Amino acid sequence: MSKNLKIIESGEILDLQARHIPCPKSQKEFAIDVLIGLSHSPKRLPCKYIYDERGSLLFERIIACPEYYLTDCEVEILRTYKEEILSKVGGGKINLVELGAGSGEKTKILLQEMIAGNIDVTFIPIDISSSAIRDSTDSLKEQIPGIKIKGLVSEYFKGIRWLSNLDRCTNVILFLGSNIGNFEPAEADVFLSSLWNACNDGDYLFIGFDLKKDIRLLLNAYNDSGGVTAEFNLNLLRRINNELGGDFNLEEFQYYSTFDAISGAIKSYLISQRKQNVVIDEINRLFFFKSWESIHTESSYKFLVDDIVKLASRNGFEIIEHFFDSKNYFVDSLWQVKKE
Ligand code: AVI
């Protein structure tokens, strides 16, 4: 283990981060990314910064919106195919590794099935936020008594590399919810090849993709009638105000999302409704907005099965099976790492 890795074993949480949140390094990165993004033409901001505590709560509310079909589809897939999925990954010792600590609802379906089938499983959520890890491990411990959980506070690849060197369990990595769709295509390749590098030969990736479908359904999912998705995107500007001393007037920005048929993504924007200047103290900058100028805040790529097949093969994975929901809106795809 390198010297600057501080490992704190507190209960069942291992902390591989050198520093805790609030982390000056991550604040600096936030400031630099905002500076780069708002200096770019056209303006853009990385969607990962939507997710502070408020942003994560808003995302939970999006999941509950009737228009946002993705989560229901994935839950249906897990409930329908849980036995089949587990039979594919074999019966040895398994680390069920979840990238990003979610609410645990979906993971619970697989964990309960594994425990009922006497599979020797340890659940390992990996996230850089220790509070997110703490929340997800606490609630699962309560709901599934006797479950083995090791929360890992770490960057994804560092955490997986650490696990891969630790023991000879099979890692089954979960990357659910079509999170892969929030990467630009080149970033998705970098992400998957880095994941491949961090894994051992024979490890599995169980990865969710939202499929291309009727455009009206796609648009509705990102334009919920309650305005939750708009609030979720505006949270980016709220964070800049709160953490970097920005003076964005949120009322002056309109949320807009559209389907870009060429790239195959829902593209989300915040649009300045008038000509205005915005000052951000922390980076010592004034940004000028023309009226109706946009900030790109998020891409949510939608896939064809053929895109998924190519993505897997060019990054060193073999597809074991695709699991679809009954409407064919979503697919969870089981891939295996091939190194030999
Ligand atoms: C997390 N991610 C897969 C969501 C998506 O569908 O792109 C985030 C989201 N943005 C707006 N609604 C949901």
Encode pLDDT of 21-46 as tens digits. 455 678 899 999 999 999 999 999 99
Minimum-distance ligand 1 atom for the alpha carbon of 182: 7
Query: Which pLDDT tens digit goes with each residue over 283-314?
Result: 999 999 999 999 999 999 999 999 999 999 99
Angle of helix 228-244 versus helix 53-63 axis, rounded to 10: 180
Ligand 1 geometric centre to CA of 29 (Å): 22
DSSP 5-70: ---EEETTEEE--SSPSS-HHHHHHHHHHHHHHHHSSSEE--GGGG-SHHHHHHHHHHHTSTT--H
Q: Which residues contact 235 (CB under 8 A, 6 or more apart)?
A: 50, 52, 54, 55, 58
Whether 133 contacts 127, CB under 8 Å: yes
Where helices occur in the chain by DSSP H, the ranges are 24-39, 53-63, 70-89, 105-116, 130-143, 156-166, 185-198, 215-221, 228-244, 305-314
Q: Relative to the CA of 257, which ligand 1 atom is closest?
A: 11
Q: How far is the CA of 207 from the centre of ligand 1 (A)?
A: 15
pLDDT the model gives residue 192? 97
Atom of ligand 1 nearest to the CA of 178: 3
Which residues of the chain are modeled with pLDDT < 70? 1-13, 15-24, 102-103
Q: How far is the CA of 107 from the centre of ligand 1 (A)?
A: 18
Query: Which residue has the CA at smallest separation from atom 3 of ligand 1?
Result: 179
* Side chain identity, residue 170: T
CA nearest ligand 1 atom 4, residue: 179
- Taking the C-alpha atoms of residue 271 and residue 274, their distance in angstroms, rounded to an integer, is 9
Q: What is the predicted pLDDT for the residue at 5?
A: 32
Rounded Cα gap, residues 4 and 238, in angstroms: 33
CA-to-CA dists, residue 263 to 40, 309, 311, angstroms: 20, 17, 15
Contact 172, 139 (CB under 8 A): no
pLDDT of amino acid 153: 87
Q: Ligand 1: list residues with CB < 6 Å.
A: 62, 70, 177-179, 181-182, 222, 229, 232, 298, 300
What pLDDT was estimated at residue 2? Answer: 39
**What local confidence, expressed as pLDDT, does residue 64 receive?**
95
Show Cβ contacts of residue 316 under 8 Å, excluding neighbours closer than 6 positions: 193, 196, 337, 338, 339
Distance (Å, rounded) from C-alpha 327 to C-alpha 334? 19
Ligand 1 atom with the shortest distance to the CA of 266: 7
